[in-house]
């Protein structure tokens, strides 16, 4: 009975978290498929929603294993099934913990932006005809707090006013392409 109640609560919590996760994908205009789900799970910077999804999935799997192990022990009278179930639950929890540690590590030490966001920055800079070369570095400080450093090489014979205008244009277009960026954390430098 207790396992059934736990199963209901964990399933509800997982459902709520999954709905939020799915909404993030749909807002981008993508359809939820397994490859899109796995990519989003890997590239999503919201550690809270990822942690809830993974933790609830592990809990549900653990509860199901416990139900099966207890049922087999009750039916057969052999307590080895309970022991095996306990081991399997431990393995599941360790596996999910390792996955979470790997995913959250990047946010703790400073992870680069997702490939999609990097492509948006690259496209913005490539659309400016005065830019000859570019080098982009990014680092997430939090889920929606990112540092962007761009080193650009411009065409020759530009005035100081033109250079300042191009740098302002780059910053403005990046802010438009990636709305969660803070313009004060976008640094555009000229390469020598």
pLDDT band at 96 (very low <50, low <70, confident <90, very high): very high
Q: Which residues lie below 8 Å from residue 146, measured CB to CB, with a gap of 6+?
A: 113, 138, 139, 140, 178, 180, 181, 182, 185
Mean pLDDT of 36-43: 82
- Global pTM exceeds 0.75: no
Q: Domain count for the chain, please give it.
A: 2
Claim to verify: residue 39 and residue 57 sit in the same structural domain: yes
CATH of the domain at 180: 3.30.70.1350
3-state secondary structure of 133: strand
The predicted model gives 134-151 an average pLDDT of 83
> What range does the domain containing 128 cover?
115-190
User: Does position 46 have pLDDT exceeding 90, yes or no?
Assistant: no
Give the residue from 80, 109, 138 where a domain finishes: 109
Shared domain for 63 and 151, answered yes or no, is no
Do 101 and 129 lie in one domain? The reply is no
User: Is residue 99 located within the same domain as residue 121?
Assistant: no
pLDDT at 144: 75
Which of 41-45, 81-85, 100-104 has the lowest average pLDDT? Answer: 41-45
Quote the pLDDT of residue 39: 84
């Amino acid at each position: 009975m207790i396992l059934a109640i736990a199963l209901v609560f964990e399933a509800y919590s997982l459902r709520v978290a999954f709905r939020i996760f799915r909404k993030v994908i749909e807002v981008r205009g993508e359809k939820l498929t397994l490859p899109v789900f796995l990519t989003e799970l890997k590239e999503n910077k919201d550690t809270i929603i990822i942690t809830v999804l993974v933790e609830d999935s592990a809990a549900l799997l653990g509860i199901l294993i416990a139900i099966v192990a207890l049922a087999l022990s009750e039916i057969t009278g052999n307590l080895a099934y309970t022991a095996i179930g306990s081991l399997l639950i431990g393995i599941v929890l360790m596996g999910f913990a390792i996955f979470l540690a790997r995913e959250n590590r990047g946010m703790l030490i400073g992870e680069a932006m997702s490939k999609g966001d990097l492509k948006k920055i690259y496209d913005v800079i490539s659309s400016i005809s005065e830019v000859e070369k570019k080098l982009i570095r990014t680092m997430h400080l939090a889920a929606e707090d990112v540092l962007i450093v761009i080193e650009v090489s411009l065409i020759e014979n530009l005035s100081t006013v033109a250079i300042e205008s191009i740098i302002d244009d780059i910053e403005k277009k990046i802010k438009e392409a990636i709305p969660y960026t803070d313009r004060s954390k976008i640094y555009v430098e000229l390469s020598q």
